[in-house]
Structure formats: structure tokens, C-alpha cells
Structure 1
Amino acid sequence: LMRAQLESESTGSKLSQLLDNTYVLLGILVLLIAGGYFWFQERELTPQEMFTQGRQILQQPESPEWYTARDKFLLPLLESDPEQWETEVQPLLERIKVYEIRSRAGMTAKRRSRTGPQNEAQRFMLLAQHYLETGNMAQAEIILSALVDILNQNSDDSDNSRQDEMRDLARQMLNELQNNSSRTAERFIMLTQSMANADNLVKEQKFEEAARVWKALIILYEQDQAEVAQDMVRKARQKLETLPQLKQAALSETDSQKENTNNE
């Protein structure tokens, strides 16, 4: 019995014998490494989660993280299902493209704080950016349109790669400005309501107040390139031109009413 006990202790249990095998230990190590790798891997995101992640990054101030949103979330999403995601993803990619061009052209806020304009094109770009940031969209649109036109004339010059970048940036900013649906809607509401208010003032024979509204619209929107703005400015000018006749007609009507009253 003692000999059997000693032999049992010397050979060990089956588990200890198994763990004493080098190949078994290597196999366990491989399993642990593989398990840890897959455990700490990010869970695969759904398409909607990818879009949400990318959009959230773009809601932050401009930074190189925008490139992460593009490369990690938006581009893979667009490539996986262009038909479903192009409408939503493409505007975000356009914003990133504008930021990329602005970065190369030295137009980001950080670089602007360190250096002034390097050339005439950049000077006008900074001026347009200033108008955009202060809400003067009409003036920004005028500068960007003119800048695109003048830089287009230099596009054939191979030495003007810097100006080509500025032209592309100006065109991108101009497109973004002109395609801003919220701005278009707000402009339309402001113009139509103001013209309607002026017409009501005319009906009430408050001609001077109506004239002030028309003049204000002309001052605010005469440089706005939008068709609806130009149309309303033209109508406001026509109203001002006919204002003396409106006053005279109202005066004649008043005199006629007084005369009829006296005759009665």
C-alpha cells in the first residue's frame, strides 16, 4: 500500500499530467490570446450607428477628427450601400472636403490666429469667412462669386496651384451657402411677410410707413443674388415709384368723399 501511495504521488493526477505537457500549455496560451483579442475588439456597428457616429463627430468644431469620421464611418457606409446612404452621407462628405481644402489653404481658425493672409485670394477668402461668421450671407456670397470668377481666369496657369485651391474652396463655400435650405426658407418668409405688411399699410393709407418697409427691403436685399430676393427688391422699387400716384389717388378719393358728404 505504501508503495502504491508513493507511486501515485510521484506520477500526479491526470490533470497535473496534462498541464505538465508543453504542447498543451502552448495551446492554452494561444486560446487565451485569441480570446482576449476578440473580447476587446469593438462590436461591429450597424449602418445606422456608423452614420450616427460620423455625424456626431462633425457636430464638433473642425479638427482632424473629421477625417476619422470620413474614413472610419461615412465612406465605408457609402460604399456598402450607395443607394440608401448617398443622400444623407454626401452632404457630410462635402463639409469634410471643404474643411480639407480650408486646411491646405491655411483657412482654419487655428492657422488664421497664427498668420495673416498670405496673398490676395486668401485675403478675400478671409473676408468672406468673416461675413459668414457674422451672418452677412449676402455680402459673403458676393465676394465668393466674384472670387470664383476672377480665379477661373487664372486656372490655365500651371504656376497658380495655390490659387486653384482657393478657387475650389470658394466654389465649395459658395455652393454650400446657396444650397442652405434653412437660409432660403427664412429669406422667403422675411421677404413675403414684409411685402404683405407694406401692402396692408398702403390699404390703411399709411404711405410713409409702407415706404420705410420697401426701402428697408432694398437696403437689406439689393445685393442678395437669390432670385426671390432680386424679384422682391424690384417690386419694392416699383412700389416706391408709384407711391406718389397712390397718395394722389387716396387724396382724390378723400376729397370726393368729403364733397359727397357736403352735398348731402
Structure 2
Amino acid sequence: MELERIGPYVIERQIGAGGMGNVYLARHTETGRRVAVKVLSPALSREEGFVERFRREIDALKRLKNPHVVELYDSGVDGELYYYAMEYVEGETLNQRLRRQRRMPWQEVVEIAIQVCSALKAAHDAGIIHRDLKPSNLILTADGIVKLTDFGIAQLFATSKLTTTGSIVGTPEYISPEQAEGKRATKRSDLYSLGVLIYTMLTGRPPFLGKTTLDVIQKHRYGRFDRLSALVPDVPRRLEQIVDQLLEKDPEKRFPDAYVLSLRLKEVLKRAEREEKATVTHERDLGYDYDGEAPTVAVGKTKGAQGPGPATVMHNLMKAELDRTQQPTPLGRIFNSGWFLLACFVLLVVGGVWWFRTQPLARVVQEPMEEEPAPGEIDRLLELARHQQRLGDEARAERILSSLCTLLADDPKHERQYKLAQRRLEQLRSRRAERAERDELLKGSLDRAAELVEQGQPQKAAAICRSLLELYRDDTTAA
């Protein structure tokens, strides 16, 4: 039987479901205010323990006043149905975002984590441990606001009943090691779960996965996770250190509280901002204006013949790169970003300064310089591309190789290096095509599993997920 009304609220539609009951979008009959109404399952309403737990959630929300925690408006009993009305937040859950986007930029991840810290600080100050921090309990609005919800299994320090010591309460992928052992959760348990959330947002998967719930729980207690930098090369080192500390097995080694953690996360953003400003300031100190277009350098003429130095190599590489980025392709738009052009500009300026400083010496020695870059420089760039590939930055390796191919094409003097660069470039692109095919298979399989769940066939969906885990459990590039 569908619920049409409860208390003073008219039900519009169901918007969520959980272990304790359903959540509905409703409207107050007198004020017209739209709210989210959570209704305890009728079957659970007859269980005294679950009713007390439901009331505990209401008490928890009443004690929390924070812009990043859903606000409680009203609560009551309608017949045998227990309910409460809370703030309705327009947006999507973090779980929905991750299903759509998989990985998120580290800057956005840090912004979300800082807001979660604010919510956790308010909860911890009120004596509340959330205990079940996970993507489905975080709502993201269109304007970037994060709201923490579902305190249904929160343990209040002041309550002696329904003690969960010796039992495991929480979601396996996000549970802390001490919770996995059945010990009492503390505020540092929530910080561990937040560390798992940050890791998941950055990489697209939790740090620990397994065939069974027990496998996952045991990995939280004893397992080691893949390092962030191995999966996401551009993540700041300081952010990686923060996540490592959050995921410490020993609670005492984690951050002491959410406030201290928020300060560390804010420092990551501030440091990145300072580094960006320092780069721009250094460029301006050199006397050049950077407006997002290709930089130009005015150089006065000098007497006598002047051979090209490393600045010529950088200039030609940058020109080849800029010519290629004019093509309207997604990869070209990445290479045309400001950071890449700025890096090329800095290399050009440094190389140019070095070249002009060495010209007098070149004239004294009277050694003629070739019009093309020396083979040693080309070999250095080939080795640089190989090094970037080993570091996992295949995009940069491809950029270097592609630019070298453009620079050395139809040049018989450098035919060997040209063929080598071309062969490595083809290998890189071939592997990228293979990964694209694999990613398409993964996405199609996960979408099919989601459809099976919606169709009421969870066993078939679970079989698909188990098959994917078996195929790709050791493939970190499939994360």
C-alpha cells in the first residue's frame, strides 16, 4: 500500500530507501514547505530496539546545527508509523556522482572533504559519532554545498542502551579497523571513513575490495592499499600524506579531530595557490606578459653568425605543439591549457638566457654550431619521454614524442631518432586504444549490473561484479 499522507505532510514521491525505512518528498499541508520525510518501516516499528534507534536519530539531528548537516524540522507518530521531517536538499548523492564521473579532480575532493569536516566537528562536539560515513550519505548541491545525512546508526556517548560493543555496525568498504573488530567507535573512526571517502573520490574505488564482506573487513584490519600517487600521478604529495595518516590502522596515529584535519586540507589548497601565484610572478619578473596565448620574445640582432642552442630546440618543440593543439580535439584542448603553455614558456626563457650568455665563448672557440639540435639533445628528450611513461604520465610522454616526430620528419640526419620516436608513439597510442576498449567493457558491464539491481535481480548483478573483480583485481589501471 502506497503512503499518501503522514502527519501534516502530503507525500509526493519516494526519493530514497534504507535499512530502517523509506524517505519521501512531501509538502506541509499548511505552510507548503517541501521536506524530506523519513518513515520507519512498519515491521521495525513493532521492535522496541529499532524504535529507540529511530528516536535516537531524531535526537541526534535536533542537537546538530551546522550548514553541512541536514536540518530537522519536525517529528511524530501517525498511528503505528514513526516519522520525522527534515530539510529537503536538491542535488545528488556522492554515490550518484561517482557512478557518473568515477574519479574527481583533487581540488574538488579537498573542497568536499573540508565541508564534511565541518559537519563531523559539529557532530563530535555534540557527542555524536556518525559511524556510517559513505557516499550515499553525502548530498552535493549544484552550487557545491555538501550536506551530511543519515545519523540512523550514530552512537551517542550519553546513551547506555543499545550498546554496539562486540558487534559490527557500518558499511564494510568504509568501516574503520576498530569497528571491524567490534570495538566502540570514536571520532577518529569517522576520520578513517572520511579517508576512505577521499581515496574513493580520487581513484574511483575504495582502498579495499574483496569477494566477501569478511574479505573487505579483514583488509581494513590488516591489508595495505595501493598508494595514491601510483593511481593518480597529479595528486599533491601533501594530500597523499594526509590520506595515509587518515587510513592508519591505529586510531592514535590519525588526526586528533576533524578541525585539525580541516586545517591540513585547507593548507593543501593554499599551498597550491601560492605555487601558482609564484609561477606567474616569476614570469612577470622576467618581463613577459602571459595572456594564455603563445608567448613571444623580442631579441635584438647581434653581429656575426649565431648558431641555435637549446632555446631553438624548445622554440621548435613549442611551435610544433601549438600547431597541433589548434586542431579541435579533446586531447588538443588539454595540451592547449594554460599550465602546459606556461611550462613551455619558462623552458624557452631559461634556454634563451643560457644561450645568449654562452655566445662570447662560442665565438672565441670558433666552433661552428649546426642548424639542427645536437643528437644528444634529441636522445635526452627521447629518454625524458620514456621516464614520464614509467612515472605513469603517458599524456606527457605522448606529447613529447609527437612533437619530436613533427620536428624530425623528413630530416635524413635524424632518421634513426625519428623512427624510434614514431615507434614509441605508435605503441603508446595502441595501448591507449586497448584501454579504451577495456574501459568500454567495464562501463557496459557496470551499467548492466545497475539495471539488473533496478529490475530486482541482485544475484545476476552480483555475479557480474564478481566476474569483473576476478578479471581486474590486480589491474591498477582499471581503477
TM-score, shorter chain, exceeding 0.5: no
TM category (shorter chain) comes to under 0.3
Higher helix share goes to which structure? Answer: 1
* TM-score, length of structure 1 as denominator length: 0.24
* TM-score, length of structure 2 as denominator length: 0.15
Higher strand share goes to which structure? Answer: 2
Bigger Rg over Cα? 1
